[in-house]
């Protein structure tokens, strides 16, 4: 598909109406002469904590690092197992691997597409230390069941909320009741930087302190390294840009939900399957549909000038990179990765453009 220009692209990342605000934020940082872990990062951490309903936020370099550092700060490492979803960006499992622990996969629920609590129980061994659910496409996993399992088996929960900024689960912000929650600010995310960025949210002050040391080489004070941390810092430019965008995030989230509702109404009874919404707290990072004739479906939309993408084409345990990990039977994920396809959804997608996408989907004949 590369090289093709689409009349309706999958996403639009260049800043539009907010350009002047972003330029002003960048100029403020350039003029300040302070570029890494400074006042913009500290302010963003406070503001994002308030928005996410968490006591503490620690900014880091990526969402992947946010997951890995959260696990490391909980003391998870070599010899340990972390149970996670086979349907996600591979980075969720790679983050587990970075700690020295082993990712173990539990299959997803067929309609919710998030980790199946029954499969989690089946995957628990004497080495299991944590559960890493992924709020896929912005829909919260079944956190009530997962917290229940975690407390029954004495496991930590770290939530991968890289696609779920401001999502709520039964009315409560995602992350509540878990040890830590990881966010990504990769440019395509609901809250995106103009580069890489990530953060960990936690209600545990001691864990937050440890994370602040770990992201900065394990330093307890300048040039004094009490433990082996990493270099994973959020920079001032990204923090300043994220602060300007954070103010608009509630409106962005409402707009995403409105577009999703438009797709749901428009595609009802049509030729593709639309996954159920389990919680009104879904933030629609992506709008995925399923069809067993995906190649033909994508070609049909391409002919209409509409770009679609696949999230994700390969179950993580089927990736060659996962060969050394515990093999996992994930029949639901196998089917979903063969059928799932994401439609364009972004705040500048006009009602007319969305109507065109809906019309094109509806004229697809199976
Ligand atoms: C984006 C993403 C990540 C990784 O975040 P980065 O900032 O790219 O490292 C991890 N998990 C999920 C579910 C993601 O969507």
Ligand 1 contact via 91 beta carbon (within 6 Å) = yes
Point out the ligand 1 atom lying closest to the alpha carbon of residue 66. Answer: 9
Answer whether residue 2 shows pLDDT above 60: no
Residue 64: CB within 6 Å of ligand 1? Answer: yes
Instruction: Give per-residue pLDDT as tens, 184-239.
Output: 999 999 999 999 999 999 999 999 999 999 999 999 999 999 999 999 999 999 99
Q: Which CATH fold topology does 249-362 show?
A: 3.90.1150
Q: How far is the CA of 108 from the centre of ligand 1 (A)?
A: 18
% of the chain exceeding 70 in pLDDT? 99
pLDDT in tens, 104-113: 999 999 999 9
Least confident range from 12-16, 173-177, 260-264: namely 12-16
Q: Is any atom of ligand 1 closer than 6 Å to the C-beta of 202?
A: no
What's the half-sphere exposure (Cβ side, CA atoms, 13 Å) at 336?
27
Strands 198-202 and 180-184: antiparallel
Q: Which pLDDT band holds residue 328 (cuts at 50, 70, 90)?
A: confident
What is the residue with the minimal CA distance to atom 5 of ligand 1? 63
Counting from 1 in the atom list of ligand 1, the atom nearest the Cα of 135 is 13
- The atom number, within ligand 1, closest to the CA of 196 reads 7
Long-range contacts of 349-352 (CB under 8 A, 24+ apart): 349/8, 349/259, 351/262
Confidence category of residue 327, pLDDT binned at 50, 70, 90: confident
Given the CA of residue 198, which atom of ligand 1 is nearest to it? Answer: 7
Distance 265 CA to ligand 1 centre (A): 29
Q: For ligand 1, what atom is nearest to the CA of residue 95?
A: 10
Residue 1's pLDDT band (boundaries 50, 70, 90)?
A: very low
Q: Ligand 1 centre from 56 Cα, in Å?
A: 20
Ligand 1 centroid distance, CA of 362 (Å): 32
CATH fold of 19-246: 3.40.640
Q: CB–CB of 328/278 below 8 Å?
A: no
Q: How far is the CA of 266 from the centre of ligand 1 (A)?
A: 30
Instruction: Please state the domain extents for the chain.
Output: 19-246, 249-362
65 Cα nearest atom in ligand 1? 9
pLDDT tens digits, one per residue of 39-52:
999 999 999 999 99
Q: Could you tell me if the CB of 190 is within 6 A of ligand 1?
A: no
Please give the distance, rounded to the nearest whole angstrom, from the Cα atom of residue 188 to the centre of ligand 1: 10
Tens-place pLDDT, residues 129-179: 999 999 999 999 999 999 999 999 999 999 999 999 999 999 999 999 999
For residue 91, how far is its CA from the centre of ligand 1 (angstroms)?
6
Do residues 130 and 76 lie in contact, with contact meaning Cβ atoms separated by under 8 Å? yes
Burial of 13 (0-12, 13-18, 19+ CB in 10 A): exposed
Look at residue 287 in the predicted model and tell me its pLDDT: 98
Query: Are the C-beta atoms of residues 337 and 314 closer than 8 Å to each other?
Result: yes
Residue nearest to atom 2 of ligand 1 (CA): 162
Residue closest to 83 by CA, chosen among 30, 150, 18, 23: 150
Tell me the CA–centroid distance for residue 303 and ligand 1, in Å.
31
Distance, CA 93 to ligand 1 centroid (Å)?
10
Q: Rounded to whole angstroms, how far apart are CA atoms 282 and 203?
A: 22
Whole-number percent of the chain with pLDDT over 90: 96
Q: What per-residue confidence (pLDDT) applies to 3?
A: 55
Q: Is the distance from the beta carbon of residue 89 to the nearest atom of ligand 1 less than 6 Å?
A: yes
The answer to whether 19-246 and 249-362 have equal CATH topology is no
HEC letters along the chain = CCCCCCCECCCCCCCCCCHHHHHHHHHHHHHHCCCECCHHHHHHHHHHHHHHCCCEEEEECCHHHHHHHHHHHCCCCCCCEEEECCCCCCHHHHHHHHCCCEEEECCECCCCCCECHHHHHHHCCCCEEEEECECHHHCCCCHHHHHHHHHHHCCEEEEECCCCCCCEECCEECCCCCCEEEEECCCCCCCCCCCCCEEEEECCHHHHHHHHHHCECCEEECCEECCCCCECCCEHHHHHHHHHHHCCHHHHHHHHHHHHHHHHHHHCCCCCECCCCCCCCCCCCCEEEECCCHHHHHHHHHHCCECCECCCCCCHHHCHHHCCCCCCCCHHHHHHHHHEEEECCCCCCCHHHHHHHHHHHHCCCC
Query: Using only C-alpha atoms, what is the Rg of the chain?
Result: 20
Q: How far is the CA of 89 from the centre of ligand 1 (A)?
A: 6
pTM of the shown model: 0.98
Which of the listed residues 11, 68, 92, 192 should we mutate to test ligand 1's pocket, taking the one with most ligand atoms within 8 A of CB?
92
pLDDT level of residue 326 (50, 70, 90 thresholds): confident
Q: How far does the centroid of ligand 1 lie from the alpha carbon of residue 366, in Å?
A: 33
């Amino acid at each position: 598909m590369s090289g093709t220009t689409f009349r309706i692209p999958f996403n639009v990342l260049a800043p539009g109406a907010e350009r002047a605000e972003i330029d002003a934020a960048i100029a403020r940082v350039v003029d300040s002469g302070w570029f890494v872990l400074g006042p913009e990062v500290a302010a963003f951490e406070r503001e994002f904590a308030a928005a996410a309903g968490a006591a503490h936020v620690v900014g880091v370099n990526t969402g992947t690092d946010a997951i890995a550092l959260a696990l490391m700060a909980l003391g998870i490492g070599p010899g340990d197992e972390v149970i996670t979803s086979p349907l996600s960006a591979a980075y969720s499992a790679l983050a587990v691997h970075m700690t020295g622990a082993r990712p173990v996969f539990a299959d997803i629920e067929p309609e919710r597409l998030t980790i199946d609590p029954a499969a989690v129980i089946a995957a628990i061994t004497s080495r299991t230390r944590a559960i890493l659910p992924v709020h896929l496409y912005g829909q919260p996993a079944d956190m009530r069941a997962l917290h229940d399992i975690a407390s029954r088996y004495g496991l930590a929960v770290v939530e991968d909320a890289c696609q779920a900024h401001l999502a709520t689960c039964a009315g409560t912000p995602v992350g509540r009741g878990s040890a830590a929650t990881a966010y990504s600010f990769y440019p395509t995310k609901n809250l995106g930087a103009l580069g890489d960025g990530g953060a960990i949210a936690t209600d545990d002050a001691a864990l937050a302190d440890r994370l602040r040391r770990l992201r900065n080489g394990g330093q307890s004070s300048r040039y004094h390294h009490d433990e082996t941390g990493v270099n994973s810092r959020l920079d001032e430019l990204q923090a300043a840009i994220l602060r300007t965008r954070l103010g608009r995030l509630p409106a962005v989230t409402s707009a995403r939900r409105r577009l999703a509702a438009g797709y749901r109404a428009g595609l009802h009874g049509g030729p593709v399957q639309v996954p159920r919404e389990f919680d009104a707290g879904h933030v629609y990072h992506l709008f995925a549909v399923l069809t067993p004739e995906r190649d033909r479906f994508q070609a049909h939309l391409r002919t209409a000038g509409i770009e679609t993408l696949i999230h994700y084409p390969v179950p993580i345990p089927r990736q060659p990179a996962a060969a050394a990990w515990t093999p996992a039977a994930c029949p639901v994920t196998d089917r979903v990765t063969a059928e799932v396809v994401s439609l364009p959804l972004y705040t500048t997608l006009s009602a007319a453009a969305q109507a065109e996408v809906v019309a094109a989907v509806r004229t697809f004949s199976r």
